[in-house]
Structure 1
Amino acid sequence: MYDWLIVGAGFAGSVLAERIASQLNERVLVVDRRDHIGGNAYDMHDQAGVLMHRYGPHIFHTNSQQIFDYLSRFTEWRPYEHRVLAEVDGLRVPIPINLDTVNRLYGLDLTSEQLEGWFAERAEAVDEVKTSEDVVVSKVGRELYEKFFRGYTRKQWGMDPSELDRSVTARVPTRTNRDDRYFTDEFQFMPKGGYTKLFEKMLDHPNIEVMLQTDYQDVRTKIPHRRLIYTGQIDEYFNFRFGRLPYRSLKFEHVTLNTRRFQEVGTVNFPMTQDYTRISEYKHMTGQDHPQTTVTYEYPSAEGDPYYPIPKAENEQLYKQYERLAGETPDVWFVGRLATYRYYNMDQVVGQALATFRRMAAARESRPEDAGAPA
């Protein structure tokens, strides 16, 4: 009999497994369909010996001291500030759009103050910002929207930005200074030994067992457990009772090249050309010294593993039906991206898992018999 069965060995499941095992001294079994731990953050050395990310680049960044300190128990860090270029009009310019982006693209010599006015002159009045298109054209106008956002978004999501919730493009800021970092968080690092090593240390506890290549449906009635933490797709847990929640997927093409460096920065976006959305080169991120380099081409897809919940109002309404059902399901906690139908950064998933554990521990302390009540 296990105290907890945890479905999924990504950040949500692994953090909760570690907390329950080390802080509550309870037995945990973690199961995962894949042949490895770490979820989408899994990294590995390929045949050439280059450390790469099987599911595309994962860049750690956070403003939370608490989350950074927690993860620091399981890894040392390598400072890394991610930079991205977008190939537009035959040039490679910084994205998010900043002062250098505009000056290089248009052959100008604007100051930050002048750029504010330049944006204002081109911005379109929008009565209410509802869609991803509204977000961009109301800030920088239609021409930059067409160059940087529309094509990329249509490839990434398979639909026009005018059909998507504003949250999609709101994630990418517009700057009037020369800051070319993709993120501005206080803590920007990569795990020194890689993400997989971090997960190995996190799950290395005598109260934790891990079973890989194991489907929850195959073991749910065979392995005795008191409580369940589910980090998979919430609609799948309920046998798609109300229909399937739609996701966007990705296809990855990993290529090893006989050169030390392939591109100027970690990631180059292609909003106007190519079938792929971006190329990422891992040695920028890992700092690895190797005579070869490995890059990944990303092709968005309607089929495949669920990566991105599609942010539309009707999808949120469908999720709410499953959320209500989850609230009525005793002794099951739904945690993580797929279980809550949200796009989270890695640090946000860790934060959600830590907050969930605090609620679990508080419930156990106050009413041990109710410790497994859903969040």
Structure 2
Amino acid sequence: MQKPYDFLIVGAGFFGSICARELTNQGYSCLVVEKRDHIGGNCYTEKRDDIHLHVYGAHIFHTSNEKVWTWINQYAKFNHYTNRPIANYKGELFALPFNMWTFNQLWNVNTPAEAQQIIAEQGKDIQGEPQNLEEQAIKLVGKDIYEKLIKGYTAKQWMKDPKELPKEIIKRLPVRFTFDTNYFNDRYQGIPEGGYTQIFEKLLEGIEVRLGVDYLADKSTFNAMANKVIYTGPIDSYFNYQHGELEYKTTRFDHVKHDYPNHQGVAVMNYTEEEIPYTRIIEHKHFEFNETPSTWISYEYPEPYKADVTEPYYPVNDQVNNDLFQKYRSLANQEEQVFFGGRLGEYKYYDMHQIIDRALTMVNTFTKKSMNDSTTTGIQ
């Protein structure tokens, strides 16, 4: 029996929206269903008082992938914003990422050799390969920086002792022995002028989108509507948690308007002491260099994750969770109709540019042949 759609796409974030656009361009019919009441996933922005507010936290686009940069520029013009966050420890301000300015502020050193000597001395007790985040951090930047700028912030953010977290988390943070305060090393960086939501409006133009739809509540009915399903939600939720719940980091955002033009003078300020309950304050107008009489800020509060209650944001890729994910991956690979993609579907930390690349790669696997070939299944 002919089904109404070639593809059912679950989720209107970057992964799902890109798949919908590219598949539609290739002549496939797509239906997109989204549990939230808006498109854009966690990249969703709202215009408030001429300021584009990042509703689910700061999203700064950066990439060195020429293909991805060319692709995204079809849908938005990017400004020249460069991410230069500030760390606030009990009123002391430090430059991020860790660089010569940070070392100078902390130790009054002026040369890379002086900074490297202090770090080596402070990390000498870590013998062999670091076994967790705390050991890796001390090895990378020394005890002083770990105690002031990493320990409390990390404990708040992940709601775990840094000794319990995988060392790979801290490896994502740049450490530089130059006076370069640009957080990212990528060739291209910026914020889309006019916010992120416009990108999704263009991606989904002419495509049927149903908002406020809980796909998992009636999975079999929805699956019967299309030849193939692209699922971007939590993989454990899809399989009804039959092997147990995967762990995610989640965040609550408290958006506040102030009737003055400038609150903190920077887009991102991290609060690294554990006693302050929020991890950072975002001031959105600084992403787009707006001159406005008022300003919007967002406090970010870590929260315990509760499946089907709070939003999952970041996978906790420690050994226990990765082992559990492999069980779900095995189930996913047995699915003949359903393909899993994105941070939640693949239980993997992806930046926006990586998600774009993954989605474009998945779409390329769908040819007219693959529509009738069930050997390409599960997680690609």
Distance in 1, Cα, partners of 2:127 & 2:151: 17
One-letter code aligned to 1:70: W
Distance in 2, Cα, partners of 1:204 & 1:225: 20
Distance in 1, Cα, partners of 2:338 & 2:177: 47
- Inter-CA distance 222–328: structure 2 relative to 1 (3 Å threshold): closer
One-letter code aligned to 2:212: Q
Distance in 1, Cα, partners of 2:154 & 2:164: 10
1:373 aligns to what?
A: 376
One-letter code aligned to 2:373: D
Moved more, 218-227 or 173-182: 218-227
Is the partner of 2:376 in helix, strand or coil?
coil
Is the partner of 1:66 in helix, strand or coil?
helix
Aligned length: 367
* Superposed CA offset, 1:261-300 (max 9, x none): 1112211111114110000111111222321110100000
1:214 aligns to what?
A: 213
1:28 aligns to what?
A: 30
2:299 aligns to what?
A: 297
CA contact (8 A) 1:360 1:371 kept: no
CA contact (8 A) 2:234 2:345 kept: yes
After TM superposition, give the deviation of residue 360 of structure 1 in Å: 2.1
Alignment of 1:46-85 (within 5 A): 46=48, 48-85=49-86
1:235 matched to 2:236? The reply is yes
Is the partner of 2:95 in helix, strand or coil?
strand
Distance in 2, Cα, partners of 1:297 & 1:253: 5
One-letter code aligned to 1:212: L
Distance in 2, Cα, partners of 1:61 & 1:193: 17
1:113 aligns to what?
A: 113
Between the aligned residues of both structures, percent identity stands at 37
CA contact (8 A) 1:232 1:338 kept: yes
Residue in structure 2 matching 1:354, options 346, 350, 360: 360
1:10 matched to 2:17? The reply is no
* Superposed CA offset, 1:21-56 (max 9, x none): 002x0100000010110000000013x442101101
Is the partner of 2:138 in helix, strand or coil?
helix
1:129 aligns to what?
A: 130
CA contact (8 A) 2:10 2:33 kept: yes
One-letter code aligned to 1:317: D
TM-score, structure 2 normalization: 0.93
1:331 aligns to what?
A: 337
Is the partner of 1:141 in helix, strand or coil?
helix
Distance in 2, Cα, partners of 1:93 & 1:310: 27
One-letter code aligned to 1:290: T
Distance in 2, Cα, partners of 1:357 & 1:135: 38
2:248 aligns to what?
A: 247
Moved more, 208-217 or 113-122: 113-122
**Could you say what the CA RMSD is over the residues aligned between the two structures, in angstroms?**
1.5
Distance in 1, Cα, partners of 2:129 & 2:84: 32
TM-score, structure 1 normalization: 0.94
CA contact (8 A) 2:45 2:53 kept: yes
Residue segments in structure 2 that go unaligned for 5+ positions in a row: none
- Inter-CA distance 372–42: structure 2 relative to 1 (3 Å threshold): farther
Moved more, 121-130 or 255-264: 121-130
After TM superposition, give the deviation of residue 116 of structure 1 in Å: 2.3
After TM superposition, give the deviation of residue 219 of structure 1 in Å: 4.7
Is the partner of 2:349 in helix, strand or coil?
coil
Residue in structure 1 matching 2:319, options 302, 310, 313: 313
1:99 matched to 2:100? The reply is yes
Distance in 2, Cα, partners of 1:368 & 1:11: 23
- Runs of 4+ in structure 1 deviating by more than 6 angstroms, as ranges, are none
Distance in 1, Cα, partners of 2:292 & 2:141: 41
Residue segments in structure 1 that go unaligned for 5+ positions in a row: none
- Inter-CA distance 220–290: structure 2 relative to 1 (3 Å threshold): same
1:140 aligns to what?
A: 141
- Inter-CA distance 325–255: structure 2 relative to 1 (3 Å threshold): same
